[in-house]
Amino acid sequence: MYATGRVLNDEEVMKVFNKWYNRYKNNDPFSSFAVFLNNEFIGHSTLGHSGHPGISECSILLLKPYWGKGYGYEISNTMVNEYSHTLIEENYLIDGEPLKKVLATARTDNIPSNKMLMKCGFKKTKENILYGNNRNFYELNINK
């Protein structure tokens, strides 16, 4: 499933994959990462472009057997509180500016994801409809 809550078809998957692959080829670290546990694929996480200079968007998708085990927090916390600082220290830019903020959303009925984002330091800024569902919108200011 994707952010829309539906499974992507093969063409849509290839479009997303090619976007991420091209970022990798072009040394753009704001992309998607496969997540493995003991050499087994369990999901992916993204610290990607938001469409706004200096602002990234974080997302995570785990296979259902790995829900509720703390992996989501471990992955998200690493992305926004460690990896993001490494990108700043190495002078990477996102859409022409240094990284200063990370955005995230979670469906309002996904209590574990909302708790995870707040545990990582995100602050809820609003609630709105996105992809046909009520979602909480979060921001995390990144400081050097």
List pLDDT tens digits, range 69-91.
999 999 999 999 999 999 999 99
The encoded tokens of residue 135 equal: 């979602």
Q: Which CATH architecture has domain 10-141?
A: 3-Layer(aba) Sandwich (3.40)
CA distances from 45 to 60, 111, 126, 134, 144 (A): 4, 19, 23, 22, 22
The encoded tokens of residue 64 equal: 């259902």
Q: What value does the mean pLDDT of the chain take?
A: 90
In this prediction, residues 32-61 reach a mean pLDDT of 93
**CA triplet 37, 43, 47: central angle to 5 degrees?**
110
Residue 18 pLDDT: 83
Residue 1 pLDDT: 46
What DSSP designation does 2 have?
A: -
Backbone angles phi and psi of 13, in degrees to 5: -60, -45
